[in-house]
Amino acid sequence: KQGALGVGLYRSEFLFLARRTLPTEEEQVTIYRKLLNLMGGRPVTIRTFDLRPDKLASYAQLGSSTTRPFDWRIVLTSHPLQQLFREQVRAILRAATEGPARILIPLVTRSEVLDFVLETLAWAKEALVREGLDHVPNVPVGVMIEVPAAVPMVGTWAEQVDFFALGTNDLTAASMGMDRDDPIASGQLDSLHPGMLRLIHSTVSDAHQARKPVSVCGEIAADPLGALALVALEVDSLSVAVPQYATTRAALTGIKPGEIADLRPQMLRQRTARGVRALLEGKRTN
């Protein structure tokens, strides 16, 4: 209703957290199809489950009490969790007959993780063909860039995926050595930190060199100044929560990337987030 071009990030883990039993493949197919139908032909990016290790461990009946962010190592060493991932991938491929879906893989830190994901996709496609189930085999696959170590890998991974999504909340916390769940530390996190802008710039440059688009998910996209910075850095699309959509859209109305191209080198030369904000404020008021 507000004019959004699609769903930039559907957090599928809520399907797992909101119930006592795991959703079956058929239940997931039904839910994803309903979502795609509601969007009336607009693309929906479905992020595969991004669950904390303690929750993953409970599904796999493993012993774990850690509450660290999602960890692919647990999935790669657990047959039950690998099966859970296979079912989710199958469900998305099947639901994609209802509308344009995209698969987004969270917290990829190593090429081995991406290889596992792509092998699982290939297996799922072959299995669905054998079973005679309708599906879309060429659903675009993307990677979330959420840790600094992933940024220099973008050029390499671009050969294997269709798009990238920057998870700036986690990337900012990881880059600054802070826990985003710590109420004291979280107040010091600023995605307009010059170091963060350089990480974003590097990601976009390497992805665009391979002709792959980059979206941004995170609080920076919901900040009018942050959104302006992202456009200047040539990010292709922004994903914001529904309550912030109107504000972000208003902040960017009438702005053309070519008109603010001079902002990019100026931002990247700044030493502090305060300097970046002052620069952006000056551009907004001109």
> What structural domains and CATH numbers belong to the chain?
1-139 (3.20.20.60), 146-162+173-286 (3.20.20.60)
Strands 44-47 and 237-239: unpaired
Which uninterrupted H or E stretch holds 45?
Answer: strand 44-47
Distance CA 237, CA 223 (A): 14
pLDDT in tens, 77-132: 678 788 989 999 999 999 999 999 999 999 899 999 999 999 999 999 999 999 99
Output the six-digit token pair for 227.
């959104």
pLDDT-based confidence at 134, cuts 50/70/90?
very high
CA distance 248 to 224: 6
Distance CA 167, CA 176 (A): 14
Q: Which residues contact 73 (CB under 8 A, 6 or more apart)?
A: none
Give me the residues paired with residue 143 across strands.
105, 164
Query: At 59, is the pLDDT very low, low, confident or very high (cuts 50, 70, 90)?
Result: low
Phi/psi at 11 (nearest 5 deg)? -85, 90
pLDDT in tens, 143-188: 999 999 999 999 999 999 999 999 999 999 999 887 767 666 656 7
Q: Are 239 and 217 in contact (CB under 8 A)?
A: yes
